[in-house]
Structure 1
């Protein structure tokens, strides 16, 4: 299969309409239809069920859509990393969630800067879930990720720090003086629903909670009594007096890891990882 064919197929599979897919690809519809038919003949499977009213993916088409997305992401990542490696200004791009692991990040940057062969580190502060995407598509060389919220499959990782979680509530809430609460009690707070964070494609999961994109937006909604949030215990230091914090006894442990592509041969990335594990 050719990269061009995969791009064509992904456009059709996501739009489920040849006309819209052709417009998205800036090409005419007939050659797009012929390319998909040729791809089906070569693979020996039907990828799309077509009738006069709609287009749907077959099971084989769903598999190819998933695999094609990963393949195209890998190609784009290879392009970005190659261009950056050939640029005159060498350095490392580190992605991390804004507001998370702030103390650890500060110590890491200071310790690495003191190394004799240290290079410039560009820190990219991201929204929830974005660090993983930047590392996968080549816009970052290394990232601080947080299991179980971030997926680390496909990366090499080193565990750096583990911590419990707390629920953040408006000050004065009925649960504010409890020594601890359970996740079931948090989920039962119909007056303070958990927030909904965007997925990688920009869509939001269904649910009653408000849509949020960053930590500042979330803390203001909690202050206004519109939401609560379960967060790592270290974020307690960033909260204001109008927030209450209660440990969640059965929330999963959050582990901060430093992650990098397994095929990376960057000495700067290796030195940064070594510094992080030493800390």
Structure 2
């Protein structure tokens, strides 16, 4: 006995006619009649009163009908529940560079979770360069980074340009310049760069920024991560260039001054596989721009 036999039987009972049931099931009447006869033969009982108009069930047929309806209903519930479980097991893995956690990435991921409750979201910190390889190998589905790294297998979308700032000790003379300073003002300072590896990275970007303005800073020191760099700045050991979002890191005697040079920005890119047009990726883009709208951040959505 198969579920389709139960569906055939239930349709005949509810339509009280083989002809109408066949039309409802989009099958011919003779095969439907044979299926019901086979069902009766398998059960060893008669399910319908022969010759009745409209067609009526026997007492055993009525009993079988009630339980057949329950079984079909249970089957639909199991199907729906299984589909929900399957949705819950779908995973989207995001690679990100650590500095983005101080910006809007946490808000974006949180909103994405709320709007995709059946989707499992995994976050993995990795450099922009490593994200490209991870995308190609299928280890991540999305990458959030800051570097312009091109690869024909990866599509890179510029989300926005984040202004850069200079972190310095409260005793530093340049702290008085509240409206901002220029790279020429800090070229001779003790400057901490981060991270120390792997290359290329944000420290590479800062070096390139100085080169763009034909500046050659001499007192550079690379440290492992942004927290270490800012800790040293708070200790009065030097200064550090950071994305604007890093000003959420507050330490005693630590101040942030805007960089006024036009090129003093750090791009934020989203990278996906070139042919990926999945619904989840489109939903992620929607979440990104919803957050940008709430934060009054300018962006160009025509790039997606």
Say yes or no: TM over 0.5: yes
Equivalent residues of 1:158, 1:259 under 8 A apart = yes
- 1:230 is matched with 241
1:58-77 matches, within 5 Å, as none
Task: Describe the superposition over 1:21-67 as per-residue Cα deviations: whole angstroms up to 9, x where unpaired.
Answer: xxxxxxxxxxxxxxxxxxxxxxxxxxxxxxxxxxxxxxxxxxxxxxx
The answer (yes or no) to whether the contact 1:98–1:125 under 8 Å persists in 2 is yes
CA separation of 1:181 and 1:128: change in aligned 2, threshold 3 A: farther
| SS of alignment partner, residue 139 of structure 1 | coil
Task: Report how many residues are paired.
Answer: 187
> In 1, distance between residues paired with 2:129 and 2:240?
16
1:242 matched to 2:240:
no
Alignment pair present for 1:253 and 2:230: no
The answer to whether the aligner puts 1:125 opposite 2:125 as a matched pair is yes
2:275 is aligned to 263
- Secondary structure of the corresponding residue to residue 176 of structure 1: helix
Task: Report the CA distance shift for 1:90/1:113 in structure 2 as closer, same or farther (over 3 A).
Answer: same
Shift of 1:178: 1.4
Q: Is residue 2:149 matched to residue 1:151? A: yes
**Equivalence for 2:57:** none
Instruction: Give the whole-Å Cα distance in 2 for the aligned partners of 1:99 and 1:258.
Output: 14
Q: Distance in 1 between matches of 2:169 and 2:132?
A: 31
Residues 273/160 of structure 1: CA separation in 2 closer, same or farther (3 Å cut)? same
5 Å-filtered alignment, 1:168-207, equals 168-179=167-178, 180-189=180-189, 192-195=190-193, 197-200=196-199
Return closer, same or farther for 1:175/1:238 CA change in 2, 3 Å cut-off: same
2:273 is the alignment partner of 1:275? no
Match of 1:32 in 2: none
- Structure 2 equivalent of residue 100 of structure 1: 100
What SS is found at the alignment partner of 2:193?
coil
SS in 2 for 1:276: helix
Partners of 1:127 and 1:213 within 8 A in 2: no
Specify which of 186, 202, 212 is matched with residue 223 of structure 2.
212
Q: Gaps spanning 5+ residues in structure 2: where?
A: 1-87, 208-217, 292-304
Displacement of 1:262 in angstroms is 0.8
| Contact map agreement 2:95 2:143 (CA 8 A) in 1 | yes
Give matches, 1:24-35, under 5 Å: none
Matched, 1:166 2:165: yes
Equivalents in 1 of 2:197, 2:253: separation in Å? 26
Q: Matches of 1:199 and 1:240 in 2, distance apart?
A: 27
Structure 1 residue 108 displacement after superposition: 1.4
Q: TM-score, normalised by structure 2?
A: 0.52
Q: 1:215 to 1:258 in 2, by over 3 A?
A: same
Task: Compute the displacement of 1:263 (Å).
Answer: 2.5
Question: Where does structure 1 lack aligned partners over 5 or more consecutive residues?
Answer: 1-87
Q: Which of structures 1 and 2 has the bigger CA Rg?
A: 2
After TM superposition, give the deviation of residue 132 of structure 1 in Å.
4.9
